């Protein structure tokens, strides 16, 4: 069932107003009465939000009212966040210096000053909500529950005009072959067809359903359009009607069951369940059990947009429907845009049509939408407008591509709706990694979890997997340490059509952007801005009043080589959770007050410094991810790195003059990922570091590349994580000559890559005990390669159990970090 974004946001704020932390705020600051008013008014408005969202298409005024309420919810959330940040800041100060008391008394950190300032903000928030509540009366809104939100259901049927379908003959034959293939299974085989909305799943199922060999093979063929409501009783009625023509809508379940059993009894049937959205396994099993009366050889095809649905329903490998080729897309487009043979008279339009079908990226319904749109015009300019416009700006009918894709969006829970819509800020064909996306979602307050202690990074990964399984994302590259994703252009158009972003990305891909107007937009939106990514623009173009960006959670100054010093005002951004300075090669030093960024969870640093000052980064106890990238002069990290007790990921990349790592690194027991990449002077085997590793390590992924001084894997890194290490990547280690004898104890190891280690001559003893190892890649290791030749190599018995094994030449070109 569709879920409202505004309804969900208001619910999240109400939840915050009812949790334990809120009770603490009320007790400490004496704001219980004021917050109670906020809570009551917020709840009263939220009760009618679902009705407002259903009616907003009728009036712009109602849409503006909803936006005002959404902004007010964010304001209340920010109030709560300010109290929580102040509480956390005070904890940090209590552990640190007590100097400068007089200055603190007159600042916002003084309790009286803070109480006065926050009291005023709460008063203004109550006034705003009261105004919104008073104005809602004129809209005559009624209370509704989420279960009352109903969609116009898409209805499909089994008929298809075969001559109008292009490019699906091979796929049809593949499915027919699968259906006819005999099986000994007692359970009815179920074949899911999976793909993005509009790609042609239903059309393919129709082709198979009407294939002559299928008609003659099965005694009974049944077509059911399932759509959103997976109601067992209604499905029984539909199945019986398709099979017999009987209308049984007045029967109860018991009567329907008897009719259904009589209908299927002893017959070999073929059933298509089209457009399935249900991911409740219990409901699916109930329906499947009702269909067990058919004869051996019965088959079911399920069409769905969701990998989760395919996993639940499928008993044989799913069929991932591929996009149409450009050639087939053009043929389909010309068939719809012209009367037969007419295209020969309009070479100019055919040429434009070639550009139009490319933007459809192989999705048949998009081709049909644009072809049908242009059938009534032969004006070249109008064809060019369609070619050059975003799909979202073109007129769409009910069954066209964007409404079809929006069905997928409507089925998302509200928290995934905001995450998906946010992705419209990226340009088309943009490749994004899971970490960056998670940090951006976190900065916008999108990450929600039913579990009390779930880390935001884990929530973000779960969201990405959900959107991937529902075909909103496409996996573009899968690396050992991370995965990159893209959105299909049409899905990006859908994101644009539903987006209401509070983030600003200044992409200057063609150097045509008016930087002054863009910077002016940044300033004008400073009150509500949560994400600021300056991309190719310079921070120096912003005035020093960046401190007024109170909501800012994510700031990226990536690739601004002109920055020498960051403005001190950045250190006043106490809500900042991500600071990305990668590529800022001119940066001479980090601000001394960087330690005051107490909410910072992710920091990426590029600096000219040779050493990092103490009491700087090491004071950022909320840090989960720390990256040193291209710090070419850096010789040493800060010694008190052990203070970063929450650190989960540490990247040290292209730090060519780094000579050692701090001893405190071995005490980071929360560390799950460590990457050391192209650090030519780094010595990882120094005696003072060869100490017994702390027990209880949690390292899951380790990558070491381009560290020529390394002769053997360092015990201080690995010994504490023998039970947890899952992925190990070692590459371009010219002096590595041995693997340790204790290597066999990595019982959780799943992936092992050994690349370009020319002196490594053999695998360690006991590797046959690594039963969890699923993938082993060895390349560019001449001596080792010979010993690992399949069947005949001396080391082959150690690795014969690994299912995915490659050994041969290998060139690394990756600069991933």
> Is residue 106 pLDDT above 50, yes or no?
no
> Is residue 687 pLDDT above 60, yes or no?
no
Which H or E run contains 468? helix 456-469
Q: pLDDT-derived band of residue 204, with 50, 70 and 90 as boundaries? A: very high
> Is residue 319 pLDDT above 90, yes or no?
yes
Q: What whole-number distance in Å separates Cα of residue 618 and Cα of residue 615?
A: 6
Q: What whole-number distance in Å separates Cα of residue 638 and Cα of residue 194?
A: 51
Nearest of 174, 176, 157 to residue 214 by alpha carbon: 176
Cβ atoms within 10 A of the Cβ of 337, count?
A: 25
Q: pLDDT-derived band of residue 183, with 50, 70 and 90 as boundaries? A: confident
Q: Are 583 and 592 in contact (CB under 8 A)?
A: no
| pLDDT tens per residue, range 415-424 | 899 899 888 8
The pLDDT assigned to 590 comes to 83
Q: Are 304 and 277 in contact (CB under 8 A)?
A: yes
Give 282's Cβ-side CA count (13 Å radius): 0
Q: What whole-number distance in Å separates Cα of residue 141 and Cα of residue 170?
A: 53
Q: What whole-number distance in Å separates Cα of residue 232 and Cα of residue 445?
A: 38
The pLDDT assigned to 271 comes to 97
Helices (H), 500-618: 515-524
Q: Are 709 and 685 in contact (CB under 8 A)?
A: yes
Q: Are 576 and 555 in contact (CB under 8 A)?
A: yes
The pLDDT assigned to 525 comes to 55
Lowest mean pLDDT among 128-137, 325-334, 437-446, 523-532: 523-532
> Is residue 2 pLDDT above 50, yes or no?
no
Q: Are 769 and 802 in contact (CB under 8 A)?
A: no
Could you say which DSSP state residue 597 is in?
-
Which H or E run contains 478? strand 474-478
Q: What whole-number distance in Å separates Cα of residue 361 and Cα of residue 447?
A: 31
Could you say which DSSP state residue 712 is in?
B
Instruction: Give 394: exposed, middle or buried? Use CB within 10 Å, 0-12, 13-18, 19+.
Output: middle
Mean pLDDT computed over 460-485: 81
> Is residue 515 pLDDT above 90, yes or no?
no
Name beta bridge partners: 807. Answer: 778
Q: pLDDT-derived band of residue 615, with 50, 70 and 90 as boundaries? A: low
% of the chain exceeding 70 in pLDDT: 84
Q: What whole-number distance in Å separates Cα of residue 247 and Cα of residue 236?
A: 11
The pLDDT assigned to 69 comes to 92
Q: What whole-number distance in Å separates Cα of residue 294 and Cα of residue 304?
A: 24
The two three-digit tokens of residue 592, written as one number? 């001394």
Q: pLDDT-derived band of residue 815, with 50, 70 and 90 as boundaries? A: very low
Instruction: Give 687: exposed, middle or buried? Use CB within 10 Å, 0-12, 13-18, 19+.
Output: exposed
353-377 in b/e form (b: 16+ CB < 10 A) is: beebbebbbbbbbbbbbbbebbeee
Q: Which residue has the tokens 């487009």?
A: 333
Q: What whole-number distance in Å separates Cα of residue 26 and Cα of residue 83?
A: 10
Q: Are 573 and 553 in contact (CB under 8 A)?
A: no
| pLDDT tens per residue, range 554-583 | 888 765 566 777 777 788 787 788 888 876
Q: pLDDT-derived band of residue 251, with 50, 70 and 90 as boundaries? A: very high
Phi, psi of 120 (to 5 degrees): -65, -40
Distances (CA, A) of 643 to 172, 473, 573, 759: 61, 37, 22, 38
The pLDDT assigned to 381 comes to 92
Phi, psi of 649 (to 5 degrees): -135, 130
> Is residue 507 pLDDT above 70, yes or no?
no
List CB contacts of 604: < 8 A, sequence separation 6 or more: 558, 579, 580, 581, 582, 627, 629
The pLDDT assigned to 512 comes to 41
| pLDDT tens per residue, range 269-293 | 999 999 999 989 999 999 999 998 8
- Write down the pTM of the prediction: 0.70
> Is residue 493 pLDDT above 50, yes or no?
yes
What is the DSSP annotation of 296-336?
TT-EEEEEES-HHHHHHH-SS--EEPPPPPHHHHHHHHHHH
Lowest mean pLDDT among 140-154, 169-183, 456-470: 140-154
Q: What whole-number distance in Å separates Cα of residue 650 and Cα of residue 663?
A: 15
Which H or E run contains 272? strand 269-276
Alpha carbon 610 to its chain centroid, in Å, reads 37
Nearest of 689, 599, 597 to residue 637 by alpha carbon: 689
The pLDDT assigned to 150 comes to 41
Q: pLDDT-derived band of residue 662, with 50, 70 and 90 as boundaries? A: confident
């Amino acid at each position: 069932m569709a879920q409202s974004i505004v309804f969900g946001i208001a619910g999240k704020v109400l939840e915050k107003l009812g949790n334990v932390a809120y009770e603490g705020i009320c007790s400490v600051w004496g704001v219980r009465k004021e917050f109670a008013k906020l809570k009551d008014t917020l709840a009263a408005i939220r009760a009618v939000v679902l009705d407002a969202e259903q009616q907003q298409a009728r009036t712009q005024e109602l849409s503006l009212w909803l936006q005002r309420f959404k902004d007010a919810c964010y304001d209340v959330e920010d109030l709560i966040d300010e109290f929580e940040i102040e509480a956390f800041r005070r904890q940090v100060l209590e552990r640190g210096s007590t100097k400068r008391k007089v200055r603190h008394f007159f600042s916002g950190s003084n309790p009286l000053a803070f109480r006065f300032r926050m009291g005023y903000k709460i008063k203004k928030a109550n006034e705003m909500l009261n105004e919104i509540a008073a104005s809602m009366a004129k809209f005559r809104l009624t209370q509704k529950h989420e279960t009352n939100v109903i969609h116009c259901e898409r209805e499909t049927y089994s008929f298809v005009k075969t001559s109008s379908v292009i490019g699906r003959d091979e796929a049809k034959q593949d499915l027919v072959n699968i259906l006819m293939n005999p099986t000994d299974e007692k359970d009815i085989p179920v074949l899911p067809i999976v793909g993005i909305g509009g790609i042609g799943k239903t059309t393919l199922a129709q082709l198979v359903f009407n294939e002559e060999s299928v008609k003659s093979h099965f005694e009974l063929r049944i077509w059911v359009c399932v759509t959103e409501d997976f109601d067992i009783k209604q499905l029984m009625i539909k199945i019986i009607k398709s099979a017999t023509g009987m209308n049984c809508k007045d029967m109860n379940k018991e009567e329907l069951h008897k009719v259904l059993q009589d209908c299927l009894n002893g017959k070999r049937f073929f059933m298509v369940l089209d457009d399935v959205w249900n991911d409740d396994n219990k409901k699916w099993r109930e329906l499947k059990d009702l269909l067990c009366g058919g004869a051996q050889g019965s088959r079911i095809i399920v069409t769905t947009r969701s990998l989760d649905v395919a996993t639940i329903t499928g008993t044989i490998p799913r069929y991932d429907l591929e996009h149409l080729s450009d050639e087939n897309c053009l043929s389909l487009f010309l068939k719809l845009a012209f009367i037969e043979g007419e295209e020969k008279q309009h070479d100019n339009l055919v040429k434009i049509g070639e550009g139009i079908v490319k933007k459809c990226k192989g999705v048949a319904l998009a081709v049909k939408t644009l072809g049908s749109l242009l059938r009534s015009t032969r004006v070249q300019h109008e064809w060019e407008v369609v070619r050059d416009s975003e799909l979202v700006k073109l007129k769409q009918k009910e069954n066209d591509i964007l409404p079809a894709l929006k069905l997928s969006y409507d089925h998302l829970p509200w928290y995934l709706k905001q995450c998906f819509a946010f992705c419209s800020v990226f340009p088309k064909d943009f490749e994004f990694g899971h970490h960056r996306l998670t940090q951006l979602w976190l900065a916008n307050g999108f990450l929600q979890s039913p579990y009390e202690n779930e880390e935001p990074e884990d929530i973000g990964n779960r969201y990405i997997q959900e959107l991937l399984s529902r075909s909103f994302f496409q996996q573009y590259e899968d690396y050992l340490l991370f995965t990159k994703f893209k959105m299909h252009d049409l899905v990006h158009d859908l994101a644009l059509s539903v987006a209401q972003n509070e983030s600003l990305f200044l992409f200057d891909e063609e150097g045509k952007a008016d930087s002054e107007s863009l910077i002016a937009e940044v300033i004008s939106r400073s009150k509500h801005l949560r994400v600021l990514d300056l991309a190719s623009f310079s921070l120096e173009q912003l005035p020093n009043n960046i401190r007024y960006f109170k909501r800012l959670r994510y700031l990226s100054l990536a690739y601004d080589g002109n920055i020498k010093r960051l403005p001190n005002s950045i250190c006043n951004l106490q809500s900042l959770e991500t600071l990305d300075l990668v590529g800022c090669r001119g940066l001479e030093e980090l601000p001394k007050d960087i330690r005051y960024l107490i909410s910072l969870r992710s920091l990426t640093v590029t600096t000219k410094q040779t050493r990092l000052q103490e009491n700087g980064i090491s004071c950022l106890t909320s840090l989960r991810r720390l990256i040193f990238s291209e710090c070419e002069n850096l010789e040493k990290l800060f010694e008190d790195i052990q203070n970063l007790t929450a650190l989960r990921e540490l990247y040290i990349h292209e730090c060519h003059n780094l000579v050692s790592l701090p001893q405190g690194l071995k005490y980071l027991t929360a560390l799950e990922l460590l990457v050391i990449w192209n650090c030519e002077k780094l010595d990882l085997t120094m005696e003072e570091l060869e100490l017994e590793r702390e027990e209880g390590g949690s390292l899951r992924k380790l990558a070491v590349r381009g560290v020529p001084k390394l002769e053997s894997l360092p015990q201080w890194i690995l010994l504490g994580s023998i039970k947890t290490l899952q992925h190990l990547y070692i590459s371009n280690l010219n002096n590595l000559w041995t693997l340790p004898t204790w290597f066999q104890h990595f019982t959780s190891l799943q992936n092992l890559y050994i690349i370009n280690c020319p002196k490594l001559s053999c695998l360690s003893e006991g590797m046959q005990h690594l039963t969890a190892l699923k993938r082993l890649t060895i390349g560019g290791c001449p001596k080792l390669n010979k010993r690992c030749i399949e069947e005949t190599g001396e080391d082959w018995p150690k690795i014969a159990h690994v299912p995915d094994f490659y050994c041969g030449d290998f060139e690394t070109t990756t600069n991933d970090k």
